[in-house]
Structure formats: structure tokens, C-alpha cells
Structure 1
């Protein structure tokens, strides 16, 4: 069978969701990346207890949607290991467009938050665009293997990095947890705070509320 895989470039559209309003009283802007199986509009419910006058939350939407059995709810996925770099470049262009549309002021605190698969998107985007967040929050997800301490050297010494995970996470055994903790320490050094909690692979709302 004589098959050839070819590649094209085209223009596409995608949604994103926001919580609260960006105004003169806003102190902190959040850029939050959901995990596999989520939609951005529903992921925002984990941030609903933040002070609405001081916090503005932007949730980009993963591009690949699919049905989740057995109730056929719609979820989404950021990337797979097939053609990862092309997929990531498309996501980079999409997030660039989101931030350009939002016009984020430079005088606000910026929190970059990744949950589960969203950790890989958050860390890749931050390093490739060399953003300077006030806090970088890595919740229950793995840091991409291609990233090294050199990728994060540009970060301000005042940037605080939070590594959050559940001690009963069904996707993380003790060996994997130790590997991720050690790697995060090598990447972030004194910037890092490790915040385990007793729980499974779930979003920890209490930690979110305590980030500001």
C-alpha cells in the first residue's frame, strides 16, 4: 500500500472561557489550563470562590474534543504523542491569540495554573514565550521531559512555583511522586514549594483559594 502523509496550513477557530470581569479593581489574572476530559467553561467552577472583584480567570480550551463513555459527555484533549510538536505549535498560536484579544495589563499579578495534562501546556507555553508569572502552579501533572533547568533560568527569583498533588492519586505511585518532586526541585530550586494533600486525582479547591 503506497500511502503518503502530507501537511497543510489552514485557519481554524476555537473558544475559550473567562470568569469575572477585568477592570481597575482586578489584582490577579489567572491563565488556567484544564486536564484531559474537561471543557474550559466547566473547569472554571473550581475558581468560583475567588474574590470576583480582584481575580480574572482565563481558561483556554483544548482543541480536540471527544465523547466520554458511558454518558457521552463531551471532553477535550490538548496533545497526544503523535505529531506533538506540530500540535503544540498550533496551541501556542491559539494561546497567543487569546492573550492578544484579552489585552492583559502588565501591572497585574499573573498566575499560570496547569492541572493534569494542562501542566505540560502551561510549562511549555511559559518557557517558549518567557512569561514572567507571579506564581506557576503545577497541579497533579508531569513536566515535559524535554524541559531542563536552562528553560526556566529566565524566571524572576520572586516567581513562586507550587507543585501540588494528591497522596492517593491513582495515576501517581510513590516512585513517580518522588521522581516528579526531585525533578521539580532540580528545575526550580528555591522557587519551589511542594504541597501534597490527602486525596486522589482531583482539583484541590482549598489550595486554589489560598494562592491569593
Structure 2
């Protein structure tokens, strides 16, 4: 007989700087499969300033990236006990946002960016979170296939959506592109689309153009 139990859990996250409480923009960054938040956030530190804070939650599942020792990476979920992982992620992310935003007298604009596997987790969480999402960026990934349609449509009504991907991304297929187009049609959204010469990566030139525009 297999059963489950809920208990307090400690999870990791990374910040670009200690929040002052007067930043106007908070970017929540969701890393991809096998990455760690402390390294993922480094790609964004060049764009950190007094008005912009970056927050990178870390997936709570860990694995060795090769064999049984060496480098370790995190992921948001696997197919095993997937629904439990999704529920845990939602509780973790909701509580993290409550704690971070508690230091603000005036709430900042909330922007969400998900890379690769993090795109699905970002869109799923953002579609259910109680706060307002100003921007949703899906980079080398797309909407979670199990996102609740009506809730997501209402949630993202005023959200700017941007899709970014490399034209040589080995994980990008005609089928996956078509699926994202179907989601955009359901949501009645016309996203900003940015492509670059490259593969499954956070392109530095695109990052610089995106955050300095």
C-alpha cells in the first residue's frame, strides 16, 4: 500500500541582488532541465540594476548530469509522480513570491521568463498565480500542454507574450511549433516573436537587445 505525506520542505532560489523594496520590475526566471538557479541567473546579471530585480527559483528534483557522480542539475519534474511534482511546484512558487513581495511597499511589475523545460513550468504557474503577470517570455519552450484553458485565457488577457527560439534548435519541430500556435489561437494572443542564429540556448546578443530595448 503506497501513501503520501505532506511536510515542510526547504527549496533553493537565487537573486541578482538583495531586494531594496523599491524596484519597479521583478523578473522571475525558470531554468531548463539539468540547470541550477545560481548559474542560470548569471546570464542576466549584466542587466541587473536598482530598478530591476531577477529572481530564479530552482527546481526541487536533482540528478547527476552524467553517471553517478560529478556535476548535479535540477529539473522541475519527470513523468514519475508528475502531478505531485506540479502541486509541490505551485505551493513552493506561491510561497516564494509571497516572501519576496512582502518586502515591497509598492508591488513591482511582474515579468516571467521560462527557458526550455522551465517554459512549461513558468506558464503553468503563471496561469494560476493570484498576481498580475505583465510579461511572459517563453524561450526555447512553450506553454504547458495541461494548462487550464479558461483560467489561462483570463489570466493572460493583458499579458505581453514573447516567444524566443534559435533557428537551429534541435528540440524545435513542426509539431511543437503548431501546438504553440494552437495555444496562442485559444488564448487569442499575438505574441512578439524573436528568432536568432543558434540552437537550444540563451543567446547573449538577444538577451542584451531584449533587456536594453
Q: Same fold (TM over 0.5)?
A: yes
TM-score normalised by the shorter chain: which range applies? 0.7 to 0.9
Pick closer, same or farther for the CA change 1:41–1:13 going to 2, 3 Å: same
- State whether structure 2 residue 86 is matched by structure 1 residue 88: yes
Question: Cα deviations across residues 28-69 of structure 1 (Å, max 9, x unaligned)?
Answer: 101111001111111101101114222111111101111112
Pick closer, same or farther for the CA change 1:51–1:41 going to 2, 3 Å: closer
TM-aligned CA deviation for residue 25 of structure 1: 5.0
What TM-score, normalized to structure 1? 0.87
Tell me, in whole angstroms, the C-alpha distance in 2 between the residues paired with 1:178 and 1:89.
27
Structure 2 portions without partners, runs of 5+: none
Deviates more, 1:108-117 or 1:152-161: 152-161
Q: 1:77 aligns with which of 55, 70, 75?
A: 75
Q: Is the 8 A contact 1:113 1:136 kept in 2?
A: yes
Tell me, in whole angstroms, the C-alpha distance in 2 between the residues paired with 1:24 and 1:101.
12
Structure 1 portions without partners, runs of 5+: none
Pick closer, same or farther for the CA change 1:166–1:187 going to 2, 3 Å: farther
Q: Which residue of 1 aligns with 2:121?
A: 121
Tell me, in whole angstroms, the C-alpha distance in 2 between the residues paired with 1:156 and 1:14.
28
Runs of 4+ in 1 over 4 A off after TM superposition: none
TM-aligned CA deviation for residue 93 of structure 1: 1.1
How many equivalent pairs are there?
208
Question: Cα deviations across residues 56-86 of structure 1 (Å, max 9, x unaligned)?
Answer: 1111110111111268211011111222111
Q: Which residue of 1 aligns with 2:198?
A: 199
| RMSD between aligned residues | 2.2
